[in-house]
Amino acid sequence: MKNKIVLAVGAACVVFASWSQAAQLPSPTGRVILTVSGNITNTNTTNNTAEFDRQMLQGLDLATLDTTTPWTEGINSYEGPLLKSLLDYVGAKSSSLSVTALNDYSASVPVKDAYDYDTILAMSLNGKSMGVREKGPLFLLYPFSQNPSLNNEVIYNRSVWQIKAINVE
């Protein structure tokens, strides 16, 4: 009897461990604006990627960032999910990301930046959804005004706008 209990508990632990390591995410119901691929454990497609519509991204931990940028005039208010929230949600397992824009510009971004600087995937600018003309639908933003040391070419090159995909390398 004791062996059967141990076996049942062991089987339950294996089932729980596999469930906690990989999860099926909900599928987007609207237009897909972001695809996350690569070294992730939580997906919602048959090709092991995670696709997101705007509503799904708004369901993640949102943040507002009031900052200047080299590409805009004055201080503007941006809102969107924290990049670290997205990475946690998809179960990202890496130290580097490749962030790709609609025009296929791509930048390598250390995962550490998401946690060290609370970077956001801006979806709105001054309360309005960001279209392609406003650097949307997603714009990777760093807190430039709050941390002046981020005002350099390396970080500017990582600040991809018109994001369509993130590959967890």
Report the C-alpha gap between 143 and 131 in whole angstroms. 21
What the chain holds in terms of domains, given with CATH numbers, is: 26-168 (3.90.420.10)
pLDDT at 23: 85
| Closest alpha carbon to 81 in 53, 42, 43 | 53
Residue 147 has pLDDT above 70, yes or no: yes
Helix (H) or strand (E) holding 112: helix 111-117
Task: Name the amino acid, one letter, at 163.
Answer: I
* Three-state helix/strand/coil letters over 122-164: ECEECCEECCHHHCCCCEEECCCCCCHHHCCHHHHHHCCECEE
- pTM equals 0.87
Confidence of residue 22 (pLDDT cuts 50, 70, 90): confident
The share of the chain scoring above pLDDT 70, in percent, equals 88
pLDDT at 48: 96
